[in-house]
């Protein structure tokens, strides 16, 4: 069986891949932007686990064309049946000024739109029972918005992709960046729930042969690559101070701990038929009230189809 993990060369993705690779019958596709680092990660995981079925593959979620190339190349590899897609890759930026290859705000493009397209393109490769997991986070919930964290502000998806069109954005660009990140994490959950609903209503996911879709908050995993784009002081805090403080104060998780939770969602037999749910670690919990707004989920879905130029023949959910 084959598992795809995006952002698998470092942090949470790498930790999850290493745990899942301990089952040497599994083929693990390590997907990401840097093929050299992915190859090194695959070599390290093989040395640790003895698993020889580790496949590094180039995937740039900020470029719609390369997502399509990845989908085609994956099919051409003739790997074992695909059973799991873990949408883990994510970025955080201090501003909303950076754009993707297609002109969208970069956090929206990478954290949401690229994964939306990837999953749709690979639906016809999935062999049920199968699982799709979106890595979200506490930023999607206004209850967790403290300090520099801002709650999400979802008006319409167009404004998330083109924040300059939203005249009500925070005037402080750093705060706009924090809010854009929170928006992208809300999109992950809206997207997961909508995928779950559509897979069931279309008959692609049925009892006995389900394709489940869930989202997870891995907790604060300080020291990962998520902080690589912050300013110098924030980078120092993220990489050197928070990992120590969060573990001493017991409010954070190590990559190994969070990776173990993510691997659990991907493999636990008792979750084989659980779909459309949100997990904090291994606990099934409620996500934010806004994440259950089906009108926003549908609006995000339709806008994402247009922005990714997804065609009916490319996805079983559009036919």
Residues 232 and 268 in one domain: no
Considering the domain architecture, whether residues 112 and 233 belong to the same structural domain is answered as no
Average pLDDT of every residue of the chain: 90
Q: How confident is the model at residue 116 (pLDDT cuts 50, 70, 90)?
A: very high
In this prediction, residue 221 has a pLDDT band, given cuts at 50, 70 and 90, of: low
> Is residue 140 scored above 90 in pLDDT?
no
- DSSP per residue, 84-140: EEEE------SSS--B-TTSSBHHIIIIIIHHHHHHHHHGGGEEEEEEEEEE--GGG
> Does one domain contain both 306 and 264?
yes
Residue 231 binned pLDDT confidence (cut-offs 50, 70, 90)? low
Q: Same domain, yes or no, for 150 and 203?
A: yes
- Report the share of the chain in percent with pLDDT over 90: 79
Residue 281 domain flag: yes
Let me know if residue 69 belongs to a domain. yes
pLDDT for residue 138: 86
State whether 237 and 112 are in the same domain: no
Task: Write the DSSP string, the chain.
Answer: -EEEEESTTSHHHHHHHHHHTTSTT-EEEEEES-HHHHHHHHHHHHHHH----EEEEE--TT-HHHHHHHHHHHHHT--SPEEEEEE------SSS--B-TTSSBHHIIIIIIHHHHHHHHHGGGEEEEEEEEEE--GGGSGGG--TT------S-HHHHH-GGG-TTS-SSHHHHHHHHHHHHHHHHHHHHHHHHHHHHHTTSSBTTB-EEEEEEE----TTSGGGTTS-HHHHHIIIIIHHHHHHHTT----HHHHHHHHHHHHH-GGGTT--S-EEETTEEE---GGGG-HHHHHHHHHHHHHHHT--GGG-TTT-
Better pLDDT: 221 or 6: 6
User: What total of structural domains would you count in the chain?
Assistant: 2
Separation of alpha carbons 9 and 12, rounded Å = 9
pTM: 0.90
Mean local confidence (pLDDT), 88-116 = 96
Spatial CA neighbour of 24 closest among 48, 56, 60, 57? 48
Statement to judge: residues 230 and 163 lie in one domain: no
pLDDT at 235: 45
- Same domain for 33 and 52? yes
Residues involved in catalysis: 181
The CATH number of whichever domain residue 60 belongs to comes to 3.40.50.720
Q: Tell me what pLDDT residue 219 has.
A: 86
Please state which of the ranges 46-50, 78-82, 167-171 shows the lowest mean pLDDT. 167-171
Share of the chain above pLDDT 70, in %: 87
**CA–CA distance, 20 with 261 (Å, rounded to integer):** 11
Are 88 and 237 within one domain?
A: no
295: which 2 tokens?
């009108």
Q: Which residues contact 240 (CB under 8 A, 6 or more apart)?
A: none
- pLDDT at 311 exceeding the cut of 80: yes
Same domain flag for 200 and 66: yes
Domain membership of residue 240 as a residue range: 222-252
318 lies in some domain: no
Q: How confident is the model at residue 118 (pLDDT cuts 50, 70, 90)?
A: very high
């Amino acid at each position: 069986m084959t598992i795809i993990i995006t952002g698998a060369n470092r942090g949470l993705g790498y930790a999850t891949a290493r745990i899942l690779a301990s089952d040497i019958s599994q083929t693990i596709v390590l997907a990401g932007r840097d093929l050299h680092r992915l190859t090194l990660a695959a070599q390290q995981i093989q040395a640790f686990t003895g698993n020889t079925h580790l496949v590094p593959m180039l995937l740039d979620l900020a470029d719609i064309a390369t997502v399509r190339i990845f989908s085609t190349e994956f099919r051409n590899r003739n790997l074992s049946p695909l059973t799991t897609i873990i949408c883990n890759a994510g970025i955080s930026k201090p501003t909303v000024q950076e754009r993707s290859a297609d002109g969208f705000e970069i956090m929206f493009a990478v954290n949401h739109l690229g994964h939306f397209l990837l999953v749709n393109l690979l639906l016809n490769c999935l062999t049920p029972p199968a699982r799709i997991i979106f890595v979200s986070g506490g930023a999607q919930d206004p209850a967790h918005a403290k300090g520099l964290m801002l709650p999400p502000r979802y008006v319409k998806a167009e404004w998330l992709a083109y924040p300059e069109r939203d005249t009500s954005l925070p005037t402080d660009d750093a705060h706009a960046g924090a809010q854009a990140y929170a928006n992208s994490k809300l999109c992950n959950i809206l997207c997961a729930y909508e995928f779950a609903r559509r897979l069931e209503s279309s008959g692609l996911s049925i009892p006995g042969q389900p394709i489940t879709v869930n989202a997870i908050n891995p907790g604060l995993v300080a020291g990962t690559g998520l902080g690589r784009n912050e300013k110098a002081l924030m980078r120092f805090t993220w990489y050197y101070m928070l990992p120590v403080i969060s573990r001493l104060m017991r409010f954070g998780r190590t990559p190994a701990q969070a990776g173990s939770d993510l691997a659990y969602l991907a493999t636990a037999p008792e979750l084989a038929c659980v779909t459309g749910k949100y997990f904090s670690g291994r606990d099934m919990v409620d996500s934010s009230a806004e994440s259950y707004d089906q009108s926003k989920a549908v609006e995000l879905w339709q806008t994402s189809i247009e922005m990714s130029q997804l065609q009916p023949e490319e996805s079983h959910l559009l036919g």
